[in-house]
Structure 1
Amino acid sequence: MSVKVNNQNTRALEDIQNQLDSTLRKLQSHMRETKAGVNDIARDVHQLVIQSNKSERRMDDVHRELDMVQPTQEGGDYRRLIQSLDKLKALMAKMPYENRILRRLRFESILRREEAIKDPVANTYAWMLHTSASTMRDPSAIGLASLTVTGTQSSEQDLRIETCAKLRSFLREDGQTFFISGRAGCGKSALMKFLGHNSVVREDLETWADGSRLVIVGMYFWGSDDPLQKSLKGFYMSIPYHTLKQCPEPISVIFPGSDSEGLSSDAAEFQISELESAFVRLTKLENNETYRFCYFIDGLDEYDGDPLEHRKLAEELVAWADSEAVKVVCSARLYTVFLDVFSRAGITINFHQLTRSDIREFAESQFIAYLGSPELREAKRTCLDITEDIVYRADGVFLWASLVVRSLINGGNTKTANVFARGYKIVRMI
């Protein structure tokens, strides 16, 4: 069986390799009788690190050589060498099992939803992470756990500042859940992807982690034809997969077992009961001071369950986030069950009430970019004139606004009067 060294194990192997090289240099003067054996071991280890497709038989050869090496004289450096090699041997022995578990957790569409979400345009959402220095210095001055706004531009700006301060404080300090609610199509998924991959978010979380190893995971429910993208089973596969891919050390704790217990086949499918038990073990990991976890879980409303099952999942997330080592940022439509559970646990925001300026900036940037030629000057002027109507009638729903903007741009570019008029009429009449 091929030995595959994943990125996480590579880092550990490199650390041990560096220690090994340093120790070997110190041993040269007084370890003549074992020099040849140690050099052979080091060479084999190096080959295993840089050639992940070497056979398992080659790894067994290294194991046998390690077993043959015994101390022949006293020496702290030599003992440390043996300890390092023992650690390396144990690590390499676990890798086939760890990789097998990860392969069994992964499913074909596990990244499909995230990859389908488009990145934000025209600097939208940047306000979520940038606000005035005075507000950031005293985020506790904002006392509201649930943030709402009536819809005027001035109140939206004030609430954006409050929301940013709340989010940054949540990321940097201890906190349970941050719930983003909003109407369908208002841009929640794009926001979740933006936050999950943002460097400012990572820096804030590193402050919270305070030296512990930070693990950031994104998971996206999606009401597609693939049951695993909208089911609890898919959730129980995705969360451990994305978590353990970054920190494989707890795999043997979360998925205890051996090849003799049926884990030798990559094709063997986990049963829902096995996955649920593994998820419980993940949420109760001991020695949490080693890690800090932040989960971005999008589309809870697209989980294919009834209201009672929605409530159970929400309560599980809240209970999990009660750990000092876990934060959960999640999003869903305005379902009563989610609002009830998360408003009692942490911060909630109504995102569709915060997007008017983003929609305005998006529409204007698109009109300027795609109607910029001289012959389309009149079309651009007309579209810019009705931008405020688009913002008002969209009422926070980004998807509706983007469809109208696209229709207007297509009508303007094709110089087809009826297409352009239809888009214009949509804005004026709805």
Structure 2
Amino acid sequence: MEALGALSLAGNILQFAGFAKKIVSSSRQLRDLGSTEEHAELEVISGEIRGYLARIQLPEDLLAGLQPSKEIESIRALSVQCDSVARALLDKLDGLKPKYKDGRLGRTETIYKALLSVWSKEEIERLHNRLETIAASVERNLAAYDRQRLFNRLNILALENRRLEVHRADEIRQLRAVFNDLFEDMGHRLRDDKSRSQTIVALLEATSQGSRLSTEQIILEQLRFDTINDRYELIRPAHKDTFQWLFDTTERDSPVTFNEWLTSQDSVYWISGKPGSGKSTLMKFLSSHPSTSEALQVWAGESKLVKAEFFFWNSGKNELQKSQGGLIRSLLYQILRHCPDLIPVAYPHIRGLQNLEDTAGAESLLSLAKQNILVPLSDTGLRDTLRRISLRARESQTKFCFFIDGMDEYHGKPNSAIQLMEDLRHLFNAKMCLSSRSWNEFEERFGKMNTRKLYMQDFNAVDITAYINDKFEEDENFQELEGKDTYGVILTKEIADASNGVFLWVFLVVRSFQEGLTNGDLISDLQRRLKELPTDLNEYFKKILVSDVDEFYHSHSAQMFFVTLEAAEELPLMAYWFMGDEDPDYAIKLEKQQLSMQKVNKRMKQMNKRLNACCKGLLEVQEQSLKDGEDALPSSIYFSRRVNFLHRTVRDYLNLESTKQMLHQWCSPSFDADESICKALVAQINYARVYSAFTVPQNVMPPRWG
């Protein structure tokens, strides 16, 4: 049982003890119990006691696996005593009801007098004294309570708030201040008759608030999935000073600028373009740029503005990165962390569970969360949740803008993706900035919006030129070339013209030029290089594989491409190290040993070089964030650096049948990608598991208030 649960239980015991003492006191009339009638029904009193009974019971499962402090054990024992008292009172009250018409007492009769008919005066007095003893014991426990335990829980709540990016930092700070104030001279507050009741009420309100905040975090944790931000984080940021033209107020080729759309009442803007033209980079730039938020706020006016984004990723190994379920979960997560007050609206069934004054409710909440019942994650359940939020959002005039990238990467038919976007737009009455390739279905739906669309290749020329100039200015070898000030300008224009607006092609060309400059190429050599480079991306990729990769590495190259295509998730860089072992039984024979950090880093560096030699940048090493707690493990170095495709177009090219046939010719006939993956991972685990803290226990939820 945790800190806030103990405090909540203690407060409930005190409230019950006070209520019960009034019942068995000969000096109290029935109306003193809070009744507004001259007489009250026994059923009402029984109902009050049953309510307290629910709040003072403590499920055994709540303490499973924990080591409660002495004070918590003491409070727990007192709750058992209260449970006994409450049941005894209920038993006697139920026995009284048949003696009174409709269960009502007379106008002048007290509860005490009624109880005397079924209890002796001595028994009532003993019960009264027992309640006094229980209350005094609870008060002593609260006065001596280890507040550090409480504030440790508040620290955890604050850390979770930052990790989940929930807008509750101010509430947590205020909660800390309330508890700090409550525990100042707690003993005196509870001994003083005037302040006791106020202190108990304030304590219960504070623990209830802590419960609500903790419940919000549990809900958000259920919606969040491990790879929710992977695609966004892997997209290269826009090159400096590019894309600024989108916020120009002057007209360009399009009669209406993107900036004007942001402030208008029009609901959809479509960004399209050739593969590799920079659509995802642009969408990342737009979704996070301050000018976007400023312009959208003009559209929203006085209403609250909520922005959310999702980047479909066909190359992602997690189905949620390319499905309807993943999109809706991501949008719900972002909406609810920005507007946590909407969580009870999204999940109305938690209202009866989230109040930790009811410890049984707290246990039910955690149990449902562990069983994935608390938050329905089916497509139907997710859509129902969206509908509930949208209804409340319309009432509160909240405005939404969604940035959804890569509709062509949606795992389903293009028309299904279009319908999904339409449903979201109508559901929230939202603005939506969408991007996709120029497939027929998308052209048919969005291509007719002449003033509300943008083709990347038609606007990339200025940005491409700026990118080339910056790269050449940063390259010392280029700066030393004779004729750079004249022929270099011409070369830059030739590259930009040949690119046809495809940024990825420019990236590959500039990289090829930099390699040539390292070897002492002259301007004339660079011009010849440009003429020999294919302008079609697939042809360029083929040239890289056939011409740029040394024939000596073809076998290794093919193996690396195949395992990257077939792997269920992005493989760690270290796994590729083991794939080079020529002994087919190396994974079984490998001895478990702990490598020094220096040796691990040395192997990583060497494997990075080998990957570049065999794949020439078509596969690249990417730093990926690990799950919470895993980044602190000694073995994390084995898993944080993972191998992925340079771009989706590379994966598409490698999946072509003609490309696969060529790669198969380079491989040994006995090569099996799945077998190679399994052996490499077994070998890697044999090394990594030597560390005592290799893994994080599974199915263990972070510490919560309970």
Q: Give the TM-score of the pair, scaled to structure 2.
A: 0.45
The answer to whether structure 1 residue 176 and structure 2 residue 267 are counterparts is yes
The verdict on how the C-alpha distance between 1:193 and 1:67 changes in structure 2, with shifts beyond 3 A counting, is farther
Q: What's 1:305 paired with? A: 412
Letter in 2 for 1:265: K
Q: CA shift at 1:210, angstroms? A: 2.3
The answer to whether structure 1 residue 127 and structure 2 residue 241 are counterparts is no
The answer to whether structure 1 residue 11 and structure 2 residue 118 are counterparts is no
Q: CA shift at 1:428, angstroms? A: 8.5
Q: What's 1:159 paired with? A: 253
The answer to whether structure 1 residue 192 and structure 2 residue 283 are counterparts is yes
Match of 1:41 among 182, 198, 204: 182
The answer to whether structure 1 residue 349 and structure 2 residue 450 are counterparts is no
CA contact (8 A) 1:404 1:426 kept: no
SS of corresponding position for 1:218 = strand
Match of 1:296 among 400, 403, 408: 403
Q: CA shift at 1:333, angstroms? A: 0.8
The answer to whether structure 1 residue 246 and structure 2 residue 361 are counterparts is no
Superposed, 1:21-420 pairs within 5 Å as: 40-41=181-182, 68-69=197-198, 91-132=209-250, 158-159=252-253, 162-164=255-257, 167-224=258-315, 225-258=317-350, 260=364, 263-265=368-370, 270-289=377-396, 291-320=398-427, 323=429, 326-342=430-446, 347-371=452-476, 375-377=480-482, 382-415=487-520, 420=526
Letter in 1 for 2:453: T
Bigger relative contact order, structure 1 or 2 (CA pairs below 8 A, ≥6 apart): 1
CA contact (8 A) 2:457 2:500 kept: yes
Match of 2:529 among 398, 417, 423: 423
Letter in 2 for 1:113: R
Q: CA shift at 1:17, angstroms? A: 8.7
Q: CA shift at 1:309, angstroms? A: 1.6
CA contact (8 A) 1:104 1:266 kept: no
Letter in 2 for 1:415: G
Letter in 2 for 1:189: S
The verdict on how the C-alpha distance between 1:271 and 1:91 changes in structure 2, with shifts beyond 3 A counting, is same
Q: CA shift at 1:181, angstroms? A: 1.6
Larger mean CA deviation between 224-233 and 87-96 belongs to 87-96
Q: CA shift at 1:112, angstroms? A: 0.8
Cα distance in 1 for partners of 2:446, 2:184 equals 55
Q: CA shift at 1:332, angstroms? A: 0.8
Q: Give the TM-score of the pair, scaled to structure 1.
A: 0.70
CA contact (8 A) 2:313 2:409 kept: yes
Cα distance in 2 for partners of 1:17, 1:210 equals 34
The verdict on how the C-alpha distance between 1:39 and 1:375 changes in structure 2, with shifts beyond 3 A counting, is closer
Q: CA shift at 1:255, angstroms? A: 2.5
SS of corresponding position for 2:511 = helix
Report Cα offsets for 1:212-249 as digits up to 9, x if no partner: 33222121111122211111111121111122111111
CA contact (8 A) 2:407 2:414 kept: no
CA contact (8 A) 1:371 1:377 kept: no
Cα distance in 2 for partners of 1:377, 1:87 equals 77
The verdict on how the C-alpha distance between 1:40 and 1:16 changes in structure 2, with shifts beyond 3 A counting, is closer
Q: CA shift at 1:191, angstroms? A: 0.9
SS of corresponding position for 1:305 = coil
Work out which of the two has the higher radius of gyration on C-alpha atoms and give 1 or 2.
2
Q: CA shift at 1:415, angstroms? A: 2.2
Q: What's 2:90 paired with? A: none
Cα distance in 2 for partners of 1:42, 1:173 equals 53
Cα distance in 1 for partners of 2:535, 2:526 equals 14
Give the aligned length: 352
CA contact (8 A) 1:120 1:194 kept: yes
Cα distance in 1 for partners of 2:242, 2:401 equals 23
Larger mean CA deviation between 385-394 and 247-256 belongs to 385-394
Q: CA shift at 1:375, angstroms? A: 3.4
Cα distance in 1 for partners of 2:405, 2:438 equals 13
Cα distance in 2 for partners of 1:248, 1:174 equals 27
The verdict on how the C-alpha distance between 1:218 and 1:286 changes in structure 2, with shifts beyond 3 A counting, is closer
Cα distance in 2 for partners of 1:39, 1:122 equals 48
Report Cα offsets for 1:136-187 as digits up to 9, x if no partner: xxxxxxxxxxxxxxxxxxxxxx316x443xx222222323111112121111
Letter in 2 for 1:107: F
Report Cα offsets for 1:263-310 as digits up to 9, x if no partner: 332866833332232233333334553532221111111111113322
For structure 1, which runs of at least 5 residues remain unmatched after alignment?
Answer: 21-37, 45-60, 72-81, 136-157
SS of corresponding position for 2:266 = coil
Cα distance in 1 for partners of 2:175, 2:302 equals 20
For structure 2, which runs of at least 5 residues remain unmatched after alignment?
Answer: 3-152, 354-363, 537-706
Report Cα offsets for 1:170-209 as digits up to 9, x if no partner: 2223231111121211111111111111111111122223
SS of corresponding position for 1:8 = coil
CA contact (8 A) 1:181 1:349 kept: yes
SS of corresponding position for 1:401 = helix
Q: What's 2:657 paired with? A: none
The verdict on how the C-alpha distance between 1:12 and 1:292 changes in structure 2, with shifts beyond 3 A counting, is farther
The verdict on how the C-alpha distance between 1:330 and 1:291 changes in structure 2, with shifts beyond 3 A counting, is same
Q: What's 1:56 paired with? A: none
The verdict on how the C-alpha distance between 1:312 and 1:373 changes in structure 2, with shifts beyond 3 A counting, is closer
Letter in 2 for 1:110: I
Q: What's 2:137 paired with? A: none
CA contact (8 A) 2:273 2:436 kept: yes
CA contact (8 A) 2:273 2:437 kept: yes
The verdict on how the C-alpha distance between 1:286 and 1:218 changes in structure 2, with shifts beyond 3 A counting, is closer
SS of corresponding position for 1:257 = helix
Cα distance in 2 for partners of 1:277, 1:221 equals 22
CA contact (8 A) 1:367 1:384 kept: no
CA contact (8 A) 1:390 1:427 kept: no
The verdict on how the C-alpha distance between 1:428 and 1:16 changes in structure 2, with shifts beyond 3 A counting, is closer
The verdict on how the C-alpha distance between 1:254 and 1:128 changes in structure 2, with shifts beyond 3 A counting, is same
SS of corresponding position for 1:285 = helix
